[in-house]
Amino acid sequence: MIVADRKPFEEIVEKVKDCKKVLVLGCGTCVSVCMAGGEREVGLLASELRMSSELQGSDIQFDEDTIQRQCDREFIEPILGKMKDYDCVLSMACGAGVQLLAEMVTPLVVKPGLNTRFIGYTVQEGQWAENCLACGDCVLGEYGGICPKTQCSKGLLNGACGGGNNGLCEAADGRPCAWELIFTRLKDQGRLELFDRDPLLKDMRKKDHPMKQINPLYAEHTEEEPVAAEKS
C-alpha cells in the first residue's frame, strides 16, 4: 500500500489561510490504513482547523467528507457537484489522488494535506515499512522475495558488499544486511545456486516518467476512443 503522513499543522493552516470555504476530503483506502487520511483523521483535522480559525478570528468554513478512493474517477464523480460550493479542497490522499482530483475539479484549487512517503506493508499496528520502489522490472523471484534495491542501503544487485558486520549493514546503524537476509531466505528454499549466476541487470527504461499502463482488453477501445469522439 501507499504510506503517507500528515503535513505539519502549521503548514496546513498556511495553505488554507486565504480560503473562504474549504472541503477537507479524505481517502478511505491506503492512507486510511496508515492512519493518515481516512475518515477519522479527516474529522480530527477539520476540528483542529475550526478551532484554530476561531482563535485567530478567521471566518473560514471547514467541511469534511471521505470517499473510498481519490485515485479513481468513479469515486470522485459523485461529489463533483458538491465541490462547486468550495473555493479550496484540502486533499488527504496520496499524491496520485491529489493530482487526479485537481485534474477533475479544475479550476477549483486542490491542496495536499499529506506527504506521500513510500510503498510498503504493515509491520504491526501503527508501524509501516518500505519494501518496494515500483521499479517496473521486478526481480523478487530471483532474490527469495526480498528486494535488494529497496532493502539494501546501497541498492546493490550484486551484493553482498562485504561491509556488513554480525548481520548488520555498515551504512545504516541497526539495519539488517539485506544480502544476509537474501542468503538466508535462498538457503531455506534450497536455491543457493542463484548466488553463482551473474548479477541481474535492471532495465531502467521500464521506469520512465510519467508511466502509464493499459490492460490489453481495453487497449483497442482506448485507441479508437479519439476517433469516435472526432466523428461525433
Given this model, what pLDDT does residue 227 score?
A: 39
Q: Provide φ and ψ at 107, rounded to 5°.
A: -90, 10
Given this model, what pLDDT does residue 221 score?
A: 61
CATH of domain 2-118: 3.40.50.2300
* Separation in Å, CA 214 to CA 67, 204, 211, 221, 223: 25, 20, 10, 10, 10
Given this model, what pLDDT does residue 171 score?
A: 87
pTM: 0.84
| Three-state secondary structure call for residue 15 | helix
Given this model, what pLDDT does residue 216 score?
A: 82
Given this model, what pLDDT does residue 31 score?
A: 96
CB 79 within 8 A of CB 91: no
Q: Which residue has the cell 479544475?
A: 106
Dihedral, 49, 50, 51, 56 alpha carbons, nearest 10: 90
Domain locations along the chain: 2-118, 136-204
| pLDDT, block means (10 residues), the chain with 232 residues | 96 96 97 96 98 94 98 97 95 97 96 96 93 90 92 88 89 88 94 81 72 78 46 36
DSSP string, 172-231: STTPBPHHHHHHHHHHHTT-GGGGGSPPP---GGGG-SS-----HHHHHHHHHHHHHHHH
**Cα dihedral sign for 84, 103, 219, 203?**
negative
C-alpha to C-alpha distance for 105 and 77, rounded to whole angstroms: 10
C-alpha to C-alpha distance for 27 and 89, rounded to whole angstroms: 13
